[in-house]
A = this chain, B = another copy of it.
Amino acid sequence: MKFCSDCGSARVVQKVPAGDNVPRFICEECHLIHYQNPKIVTGCLPVWEDKVLLCKRAIKPRYGLWTLPAGFMENNESVEQAAIRETWEEAQAKVEQLSLYMVLSLPHISQVYMMFRTQLCDINFAPGIESLEVQLFHQKDIPWNDLAFPVIHRTLTHYVQDYVTGQFPLHVGDIIKTSCTQHPHFHYDI
């Protein structure tokens, strides 16, 4: 933040406000504190019989790699509405029976992923504007080496493991990215 979005002043500094313990962007002209907080990314793991629905990304980053339909939650909607909306936008797919399945914090990019396990209402899906292809995959055919993000890999791994038992408990955890290796370290999972 270089300018105050409220008064336009360039006198924006980063410091810890009185009674706080985190540095914030503060305008020294109008004294407004500009808080910045993590964003929620939410989406679905849509299931049809023994298959899962994946989308091939038509946008950067990770153009051409496979992902689950998901995106940033918007103001004035619920998490479920956002997950349903993203699934419609990216895969033109209608889903039902939402069950929260993964809550994963990514502190290095200040995001929280919330993924719902869902049932497809029908198989009338099609690529949305952000997808090149949308396809149902048998578990044995999941393109593990061509998944777009560690979160997607993690979600599908849990799903395949849980499928064996038929129990799909909520998984809560985080993905800590170490700057030296750029490889994700799976911190814990309760």
Contact = CB atoms under 8 A, between A and B. Distances in A.
Given A3-B3, A8-B3, A112-B40, A80 B105 contact: yes
A109 to B, nearest CB: 9
A74 B99 CA distance: 26
Number of identical monomers bound together in the oligomeric complex: 2
A39 B112 CA distance: 11
Contacts of A73: 37-38, 112
Interface string A55-92: 00000000000000000111111111100000000000
Task: Identify the interface centre among A36, A79, A81, A170: most chain B CB within 10 Å of its CB.
Answer: A79
A160 interface: no
A175 B138 CA distance: 38
A4 interface: yes
A152 interface: no
Given A2-B6, A38-B75, A100-B172, 9 more contacts: A1-B5, A2-B7, A2-B8, A3-B3, A5-B34, A37-B74, A40-B40, A80-B172, A80-B174
